[in-house]
């Protein structure tokens, strides 16, 4: 039997979804999307199985935790996560309701509000982080040397550079 009546597709990705398979670089894009989707799916399954909050919550907590004073302006946070501001407002609302974040305000500019990590948020992040890292290790470390991973990162960064700028 299949563990439940789950709806998820069983992981195996087809070799070519044809997203622009004409140009010489199209396959690179296809590989990028499929790999991204596969890892996200894997992370989400792991989090759900471990009774952890969903991936976006982790991403918020992780981003905030690395900012100075463990707080981040809403706008910067939306930008870092590449989601809309409106979406972030509601996402942070949920984390606040769960006690993982709190909103704090800026003295000098009363428009800005910060998402600030609470002790509970810090604790949860400390629990989740090893699990997430372990999952990523499976995907990356297993088949890639550190040098290869660095090369991959550099290549992706340069692609993003030309995709963003202009």
CB 105 within 8 A of CB 115: no
Residue 116: left if φ>0, alpha if ψ -120 to 50, beta else—which one? beta
**By CB under 7 A, what part of segment 57-116 binds DNA?**
73-76, 83-94, 103, 108-114
The entry of DNA, a second copy, none near residue 16 (CB within 5 to 8 angstroms by kind) is: a second copy
Residue with tokens 């992370």: 43
3-state secondary structure of 28: helix
**Shortest Cβ distance from residue 147 to DNA (Å)?**
34
Judged by CB under 7 A, does residue 6 bind DNA? yes
Rounded Cα gap, residues 68 and 104, in angstroms: 14
The entry of DNA, a second copy, none near residue 103 (CB within 5 to 8 angstroms by kind) is: DNA
**Shortest Cβ distance from residue 165 to DNA (Å)?**
17
Judged by CB under 7 A, does residue 56 bind DNA? yes
Q: Name the E strands within 13-140.
A: 71-73, 101-105, 113-117
Q: 23 or 108: whose CB is closer to DNA?
A: 108
CB 61 within 8 A of CB 128: yes
**Shortest Cβ distance from residue 100 to a second copy (Å)?**
16
Q: 11 or 109: whose CB is closer to DNA?
A: 109
Rounded Cα gap, residues 32 and 116, in angstroms: 33
Judged by CB under 7 A, does residue 14 bind DNA? no
The entry of DNA, a second copy, none near residue 122 (CB within 5 to 8 angstroms by kind) is: none
CB 85 within 8 A of CB 75: yes
* Residues in touch with DNA (CB under 7 A): 1-2, 4-8, 44, 48, 54, 56, 73-76, 83-94, 103, 108-114
């Amino acid at each position: 039997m299949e563990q439940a009546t789950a709806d998820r597709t069983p992981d195996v990705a087809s070799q070519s979804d044809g997203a622009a398979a004409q140009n010489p670089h199209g396959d690179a894009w296809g590989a990028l999307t499929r790999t991204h989707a596969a890892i996200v799916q894997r992370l989400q399954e792991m989090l759900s199985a471990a009774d952890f909050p969903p991936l976006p919550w982790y991403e918020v907590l992780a981003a905030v935790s690395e900012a100075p004073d463990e707080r981040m302006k809403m706008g910067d946070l939306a930008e870092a996560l590449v989601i809309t501001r409106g979406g972030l407002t509601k996402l942070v609302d949920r984390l606040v309701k769960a006690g993982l974040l709190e909103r704090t305000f800026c003295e000098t500019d009363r428009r800005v509000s910060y998402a600030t990590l609470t002790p509970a948020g810090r604790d949860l992040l400390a629990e989740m982080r090893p699990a997430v890292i372990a999952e990523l290790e499976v995907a990356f470390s297993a088949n890639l040397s550190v040098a290869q991973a660095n090369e991959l990162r550099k290549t992706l960064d340069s692609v993003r550079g030309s995709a963003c700028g202009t």
